[in-house]
């Protein structure tokens, strides 16, 4: 059975390609079609239809909420970051089972060594806690409300850690963005100090 021109196909050896020609038969009755393979190694060639099978291209990875936010409303992120730099803090907590990966995340997004990054994680005994990245920004005159509303379209805003006059978001990815791009550190958990430069 012939494939439609433009249909995506593949073989176990060549990988995927696109049908670019009609079915033809050789003198022995073997059916072939012209295929333009994705790999330049194989290029465009006639291939036995019996060896071809339909192929569906994988769907592109879904954008994360922060990727969507940075793409669709970068101004809101920049304004939020400015407010964060004048009165913000990141509070990170984790269960014992997750703490190593969280320490690695902090270290890879700052200039801290893993041994230093451990001081910035509050370890909790609840093993169902996993990891929480709470971003809190002081908003004494409610000037951040409009910006927070724009960010809240993409990220979870509610939280219990916010003090009066603070805006709070839960987002590991946004916290990592702030740490890597703006060189801030989370709130230290052993000895005080918070929001310091990385």
pLDDT tens track, the chain, 198 positions = 899 999 999 999 999 999 999 999 999 999 999 999 999 999 999 999 999 999 999 988 889 999 999 999 999 999 999 999 988 999 999 988 889 999 999 999 999 999 999 999 999 887 667 789 999 998 766 678 889 899 999 997 766 777 887 889 999 999 999 999 999 999 998 644 444 444
The pairing of strands 31-37 and 24-25 is antiparallel
- Provide the pLDDT for residue 196: 45
Q: d(Cα 1, Cα 18) in Å, to the nearest integer?
A: 16
When computed from its CA atoms, the radius of gyration of the chain, rounded to whole angstroms, is 26
Long-range contacts of 158-164 (CB under 8 A, 24+ apart): 159/134, 161/91, 161/134, 161/136, 162/136, 163/136
- Provide the pLDDT for residue 162: 78
- Provide the pLDDT for residue 156: 78
- Provide the pLDDT for residue 197: 47
pTM of the model: 0.67
Q: d(Cα 18, Cα 22) in Å, to the nearest integer?
A: 12
């Amino acid at each position: 059975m012939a494939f439609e021109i433009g249909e995506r196909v593949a073989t176990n050896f060549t990988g995927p390609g696109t049908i670019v020609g009609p079915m033809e038969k050789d003198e022995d009755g073997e059916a072939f079609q012209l295929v333009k393979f994705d790999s330049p190694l194989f290029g465009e060639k006639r291939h036995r239809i019996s060896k071809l099978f339909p192929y569906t291209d994988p769907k592109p990875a879904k954008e994360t909420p922060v990727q969507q936010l940075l793409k669709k409303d970068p101004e809101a992120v920049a304004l939020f970051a400015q407010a964060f730099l004048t009165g913000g803090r990141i509070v990170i907590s984790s269960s014992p089972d997750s703490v190593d990966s969280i320490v690695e995340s902090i270290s890879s997004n700052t200039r801290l060594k893993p041994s230093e990054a451990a001081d910035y994680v509050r370890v909790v005994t609840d093993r169902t806690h996993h990891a929480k990245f709470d971003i809190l920004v002081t908003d004494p005159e409610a000037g951040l409300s409009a910006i927070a509303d724009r960010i809240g379209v993409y990220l979870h805003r509610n939280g219990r850690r916010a003090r009066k006059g603070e805006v709070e978001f839960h987002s590991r990815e946004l916290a990592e963005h702030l740490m890597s791009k703006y060189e801030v550190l989370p709130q230290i958990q052993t000895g005080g100090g918070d929001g310091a430069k990385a």
